[in-house]
A and B are shown apart, each in its own frame.
Chain A
Amino acid sequence: MTMLAFVSSYTPLFDLVLIYSLIALSQYVSFRGGVLSLAPAGFTLIGAYTGAIMIKSTGLGAMAGICASIAMGACAGLLLALPLARLRGVFPAIATIGFVQIVVSLALYAEPLTGGAVGLTAIPKVATTPCLVAALAAVVGLLSVINRSNVGSAFDAIRQDVTVAESLGIRVAHYYRVNFALSGAIGAVAGCLLAYNTYAITPEEFGFGMLVFAATAVILGGRSSIAGAIIGTAILLVLPELARPLHDQRLLMQGALLIVIITYLPQGIVDTARELLRQRRSVRHPVVPARKVAA
């Protein structure tokens, strides 16, 4: 097999890694901001259908479809944040599972618009590999800016402890809304690109399986870094390709990995590696001893 044939035979897989990385990043945003939301699968569905319907029934082109998806995803996130902003702890997770079920059912029932269970087909394949790389790079860039900004600081404080964040004057409900809108927009971009890359979409692609995938990818990779979400996604998608017997048991493998990781590597791969690196460094350069206060 020539190099070119080898590469091109893996292009679909590579594309999938890029798209699913975006879904995982939508999940990462939630966790990073201290919101235990499992809504990304729902946002992805909204983005996929918005994009597909836009490109098929209006003549406005792919860019307009992507923009419409972003707007729809962000609005869905904002709407979802309204009732959820007062929920704390594990409760948003349960409520957002409900949200995913609602959007999946809507996609099933709104047949004239969404094609029902058959879904939408013959979507033009406009999202080529370079487009996907550019989209992922843009989102990674956006998130790394946000992480270093005042919004990132507020997210950090909220993730640590809501009470402490409030005691520092941080309006938690406001940042919940920002968080849901961001997660919604990123999830919707992922969905739109999925529709523009895979020719057809059906509602059940975006159900419980995707919800578990997004959470697993982020937990596996590591919750505190952008790279974690991407590495987690790559492992979850590439592993079944490397070991063919795993392919038919994808969901089983995902579930088992989730249990193993949360038990033995609760910080995920990237965060654990970072911690090990830091320990090794601090052995070489120990923390300097305390100096006296001169107040």
Chain B
Amino acid sequence: MTALELDHLSKRFGGVDAVMDLSMAIAAGCVTGLIGPNGAGKTTVVNIVTGILSRSGGGIRLATRDLSGLKSHDVARCGIARTFQNVQLLRDASVLDNIVIGFHRHVTSSLFANLVGLPSVWRERAVFRARAMALLERFGMTEFAETRAGALSYGHQRRVEIMRALALAPSFLLLDEPVAGMNDVEALEIGQAVRQLAKEGIGILVIEHNMRFVMQTCETIYVLDGGRLIASGSPASVSIDPAVITAYLGS
């Protein structure tokens, strides 16, 4: 089974070690959790994997392919999609248009065709729109297709962001706090959707502070504290790990 593997990854900001010697694997078809107190380096890990930050040491591999040092857009083109801690949507554009942007990776029409508006471009866009509608249907948001993204509730905006990431048809999906600010019912629904996506073969990494969500959704959990991996394993084993309890509650 393919996996997205981090191999002795490290990142220094000036004199601060944000991530130290982190090795972990995000398996295809599984939901992997990355948790830890604020400032543990979780988002830094995602930013390194997606090429936004350069790494100070170590490597990133997708199956046999070396991803370390790739530019951010090339990482996306390898099939690694992500969402952001703060929702990043085009507030003035419709929900549908926001999702259509996610299909950019699949554009086959030439630049010239797009500049002069050849029919092939509109056919391609129509396909993207239809696939975006299918995503909306799957997430129960069909009636919001033409709504301005900025007018949606926070929970719905998060869902649109996930749909936009899914538009890439990713093999791995990195979700940075997908249920932050959601109530329990909404979080449960997102959890179900995430597990369903994993069943379809996508490898998912979830960064989350909502412990109930993490425990219910993830099969494997990695715990970071101060940039260092302090525990990993099943939700049951991690939740009784003394090092984890100390990191969260203090000694």
Contact = CB atoms under 8 A, between A and B. Distances in A.
Interface in B54-82: 71-73, 76-77, 81-82
Interface in A228-287: 278, 282, 287
Query: Do most interface residues of chain A lie in helix, strand or loop, or is the interface mixed?
Result: helix
B81 A293 contact: no
A160 B90 contact: yes
B84 A164 contact: yes
Contacts of A165: 73
Interface string B123-154: 01100000000000011110110011001110
Interface in A133-151: 142, 145-146, 148-151
Contacts of A160: 88-90
Query: Do most interface residues of chain B lie in helix, strand or loop, or is the interface mixed?
Result: helix
A167 B97 contact: no
Given A166-B72, A168-B104, A169-B104, A149 B125 contact: yes
B142 to A, nearest CB: 9
A170 B73 contact: yes
Contacts of A182: 115
Contact of B124 (A145, A150, A151, A178): A150
A149 B89 CA distance: 19
A7 B76 CA distance: 57
B249 to A, nearest CB: 33
Contacts of B243: none
Contacts of B164: 168
Given A292-B189, A294-B140, A287 B114 contact: no
A13 B168 CA distance: 50
A278 to B, nearest CB: 7
Given A164-B88, A288-B143, A294-B140, A145 B116 contact: yes
A293 B155 CA distance: 11
Nearest to A162: B72
B88 A150 contact: no
Contact residues on B (Cβ < 8 Å of other chain), bracket: 35 or more
B193 A167 contact: no
Interface string B172-194: 00000000000000100110110
Nearest to A145: B117
B114 A146 contact: yes
A149 B115 CA distance: 8
A171 interface: yes
Given A149-B115, A292-B189, A168 B105 contact: yes
B77 A169 contact: yes
B70 to A, nearest CB: 11
B158 to A, nearest CB: 11
B25 interface: no
Contact of B71 (A153, A161, A166, A224): A166
A171 B104 CA distance: 10
Contact of B107 (A146, A150, A224, A290): A150
Interface in B79-99: 81-82, 84, 88-90, 92-93, 97
B156 interface: yes
A293 B193 contact: yes
Contact of A168 (B52, B76, B153): B76
Contacts of A178: 111
Contacts of A169: 73, 76-77, 104-105, 168
Contacts of A295: 138-140, 189, 192-193, 196
Contacts of B73: 165-166, 168-172
A168 B101 contact: yes
18 contacts: A148-B125, A150-B109, A150-B125, A164-B84, A166-B52, A166-B71, A166-B72, A166-B73, A166-B76, A167-B84, A168-B102, A168-B105, A170-B73, A287-B144, A287-B147, A290-B155, A291-B140, A295-B138
Give the 6 A-B CB pairs with smallest separation, nearest first.
A295-B193, A145-B117, A169-B76, A166-B72, A169-B105, A293-B189
Given A291-B140, A293-B189, 18 more contacts: A145-B115, A145-B116, A149-B114, A149-B115, A149-B117, A150-B107, A151-B111, A156-B93, A156-B101, A160-B90, A163-B52, A166-B51, A168-B73, A169-B168, A171-B73, A172-B73, A224-B92, A292-B189
